[in-house]
Structure 1
Amino acid sequence: MLKPYQTPARDEPAWWFVISAGNMLLDQNNMPPHGALELLRWPDLTDYTVVHLGRLRERNCYLVIADLDDPNFTELGQFESVRLLIQQQDEELFALAARAKQVTEFIQTHRYCGRCGSRMEVIDWELAMQCNRCQHRCYPRISPCVIVAITKQNKILLARGKRHREGLFSVLAGFIEAGETVEQGLAREVHEEAGIRIKNIEYVGSQPWPFPHSLMLGFVAEWESGELRLDPFELEQGNWFGFDELPETPQPGSIADRLIQAARAKIEQA
Structure 2
Amino acid sequence: MVDASYFLAIGESLVCDHNDRFLFSNAELESLNIDICFDLPNVSEGFYCVAILKNLDKSQLKRSACLREALSKTETEDEFAVLSAAAQVVTWHASFKYCPRCATELMMDEMDLAKVCPSCGHHQYPRLSPCIIVLVRNGEKCLLAHSSKFKSGRYSTLAGFIEAGESAEHAVEREVMEEVGIKVKNIEYVCSQSWPFPHSFMLGFMADYSEGEITPDGEEILSADWFSVDDLPTIPPKFTISRQLIDRFIKER
Q: TM-score, normalised by structure 2?
A: 0.90
Give deviations 1:98-122, integer Å, cap 9, x for gaps: 1112112222222111111111111
Number of residue-to-residue matches in the alignment: 252
Q: 2:19, 2:192 → 1: CA distance?
A: 26
Q: Contact conserved, 2:32 with 2:53, CA < 8 A, in 1?
A: no
- 1:217 to 2:203 alignment: yes
| Structure 1 residues 261 and 214: alpha-carbon distance in aligned structure 2, compared to 1, 3 A threshold | same
Q: Contact conserved, 1:145 with 1:174, CA < 8 A, in 2?
A: yes
- 1:64 to 2:54 alignment: no
Q: 1:161, 1:56 → 2: CA distance?
A: 30
Alignment-derived partner of residue 81 in structure 1: 66
Alpha-carbon offset, residue 87 of structure 1: 2.7
More off after superposition, 221-230 vs 158-167 = 158-167
Alignment-derived partner of residue 108 in structure 1: 94
Structure 1's unaligned 5+ residue stretches are 1-7
State the percentage of identical aligned residues: 35
Q: 2:27 aligns with which of 31, 38, 51?
A: 38
Equivalent positions of 1:1-270 (< 5 A) are 8-9=1-2, 12=3, 14-26=4-16, 31-34=21-24, 36-39=25-28, 42-45=31-34, 48-54=35-41, 59-66=46-53, 70-72=55-57, 75=60, 78-84=63-69, 85-266=71-252, 268=253
More off after superposition, 72-81 vs 94-103 = 72-81
Alpha-carbon offset, residue 50 of structure 1: 0.9
Q: 1:152, 1:117 → 2: CA distance?
A: 51
Q: 1:150, 1:23 → 2: CA distance?
A: 35
Alpha-carbon offset, residue 40 of structure 1: 5.9
Alpha-carbon offset, residue 29 of structure 1: 6.9
Give deviations 1:64-96, integer Å, cap 9, x for gaps: 2235xx432653565132222233232111111
Alpha-carbon offset, residue 21 of structure 1: 4.6
Q: TM-score, normalised by structure 1?
A: 0.85
Q: Contact conserved, 1:42 with 1:73, CA < 8 A, in 2?
A: no
